[in-house]
Amino acid sequence: MMTDMTVATPIQALTKKDFESGLDVRWCPGCGDYAVLSQITKLMPKLGIPRENYAFVSGIGCSSRFPYYVNTYGLHTIHGRAPAIASGLKLARPELSVWVVTGDGDALAIGGNHFIHAVRRNIGLKIILLNNRIYGLTKGQYSPTSELGKKTKTSPLGNIDQPFSPVALALGAGATFAARAIDSDQAMMAAILERAAKHEGTAFVEILQNCVVFNDGAFDMLSDKTMRDDTRLMMEHGKPLIFGKERNKGIRLRGMDMEVVTIGENGVTAADILVHDENAAHSGLAFSLGQFESPDFPVPFGVFRDVDKPSYESLSKQLAESARAAKGRGDLQRLLNSGETWTIE
């Protein structure tokens, strides 16, 4: 007789504390990673998913210590390979909520290939990329998102590598959900993570994260409360792309390009400002927004793109079911002995 020995904690009774592992967190005091951990553990009890149905997968780097600190299943895997391992897990156990926590080095340098292919397949992973624009764990070398001219231990005369925009890269790979948040704005991060968690298919979130030791102040312009209204563009679906302390700056389309304009100057009116559309069939406008950089443009935050497409795991399931319906259950031994097999005598 089968007996169910497991007694799951009622979902509604779970709190943030239930998702904290209680292990000593080894990030540097002051690190932005703490903010992400706090917001994700806060979000998890709200999603109504049993604790045993969460899995966190990471590669290598400061961000990749994440699975230790959440009280769920988790794997601290191989450098850059978290999307591959998480893809396998999601395919085998599609009912799990599978999260990849990675960084600008892990996801975009050594793991660039795995990252773009996970995104391209639209497999149901939540990919959270903590972008501090530096290699923190290895003590301060430039990363694929380090800005031009940046002096680091490996670029003493200034970085000459063009940086990636992680959001633009994800959109280029066909992301069905791409968003950006920042460690210093808790309300914004909470709202974006919740939407990512509920997205079918790959949900990509870049979180700008201050490294207090090796790249301190990298995002001060975007965090400082006296400056951020002028340096950030908060995108909202169906609303005009307006920013600035006076709410009089906006983004206008000029041909296929975008420009910053001031409402009330040179005949520009509120009606000229581009309205943000997360659901656009093509990602061109979102891709342009993903390339905005300070100081010429405000840095966009929020959801760049959110479209519905079948997830990889749902297509894979359909494929398996239709094959079973047509040919019946497979027989592995027969398959191994079929076709071009021969016996050596």
Partner 1 sequence: MALMITSDCINCDVCVPECPNEAITQGDDIYIIDPAKCTECVGHFDESQCIEVCPVDCILVDPNHTESKDQLQAKYQSLTGG
43: Cβ–Cβ under 8 A, 6 or more apart, which residues?
190, 193, 194, 197
Report which DSSP code applies to 248: -
Residue 105's nearest CA partner among 131, 68, 86 is: 131
In the list 87, 159, 176, 184, the residue contacting partner 1 (rule: CB under 8 A) is: 184
User: Which range in 10-18, 125-133, 258-266, 274-282 contacts partner 1 by CB under 8 A?
Assistant: 10-18
Contact (Cβ atoms closer than 8 angstroms) between residue 27 and residue 34: yes
The upper half-sphere exposure of residue 252, i.e. CA atoms within 13 Å in the direction of its Cβ, equals 15
Minimum Å distance from CB 67 to partner 1?
18
Q: How far is CA 9 from CA 39, 49, 54, 84, 99, in A?
A: 21, 11, 14, 31, 21
Question: In terms of CB distance, is 41 or 97 closer to partner 1?
Answer: 41
* Total residues interacting with partner 1, rule: CB under 8 A: 21
Q: Which is nearer to partner 1, 223 or 311 (CB)?
A: 223
The nearest distance, CB 184 to partner 1, in angstroms, is 5
Distance, CA of 337 to CA of 181 (rounded, Å): 53
d(CA 304, CA 284): 10
Q: Is 186 in the site for partner 1 (CB under 8 A)?
A: yes
Q: Rank residues 53 and 186 by Cβ distance to partner 1 and give the closer one.
A: 186
Task: For tokens 């988790």, name the residue.
Answer: 74
Q: Scan residues 154-173 and list those touching partner 1 (CB under 8 A).
A: none
Which residue number, 183 or 278, has a Cβ lying nearer to partner 1?
183
Least Cα distance to 9 among 1, 22, 19 occurs for 19
- Measured from the CB atom, the residue of 143 and 210 that comes closer to partner 1 is 210
Q: Which two tokens stand for residue 293?
A: 């950089």
Cβ proximity of 122 and 174 under 8 Å: yes
Q: Which of these ranges, 9-17, 104-112, 142-150, 305-313, lies near partner 1 under the rule CB under 8 A?
A: 9-17
d(CA 301, CA 309): 23
What are the tokens at 218? 């990298």
Residue 131: HSE in the Cβ half-sphere, 13 Å Cα cutoff: 25
User: Nearer to partner 1 by C-beta: 56 or 115?
Assistant: 56
Of 212 and 234, the one with the shorter C-beta distance to partner 1 is 212
Q: x/- contact string, 281-320, with partner 1 (CB under 8 A)?
A: ----------------------------------------
Mask for 13-52, x = binds partner 1 (CB under 8 A): --xxx-------x-x-xxxx-xx-xx---x----------
Q: What is the DSSP letter of 208?
A: E
Looking only at residues 187 through 246 of this chain, which bind partner 1 when binding is defined by CB under 8 A?
210, 212, 223, 225
- Tokens standing for residue 334: 């027969």
Binding track, positions 54-93, relative to partner 1; x by CB under 8 A: ----------------------------------------
Of 183, 206, 278, 313, the one binding partner 1 by CB under 8 A:
183
Name the burial class of residue 324, with classes exposed (0-12), middle (13-18) and buried (19+) by CB atoms within 10 angstroms of its CB: exposed
Of 34 and 117, which has the nearer Cβ to partner 1?
34
Q: Measured in whole angstroms, how far is the alpha carbon of residue 92 from the centre of its chain? A: 22
Site for partner 1 in 114-133 (CB under 8 A): none
Q: Shortest gap between Cβ of 13 and partner 1 (angstroms)?
A: 15
Nearer to partner 1, 42 or 120 (CB): 42
CB of 39 to partner 1, least distance (A): 9
Spatial separation of the C-alpha atoms in residues 125 and 122, rounded to whole Å: 8
The footprint of partner 1 (CB under 8 A) covers 15-17, 25, 27, 29-32, 34-35, 37-38, 42, 183-184, 186, 210, 212, 223, 225
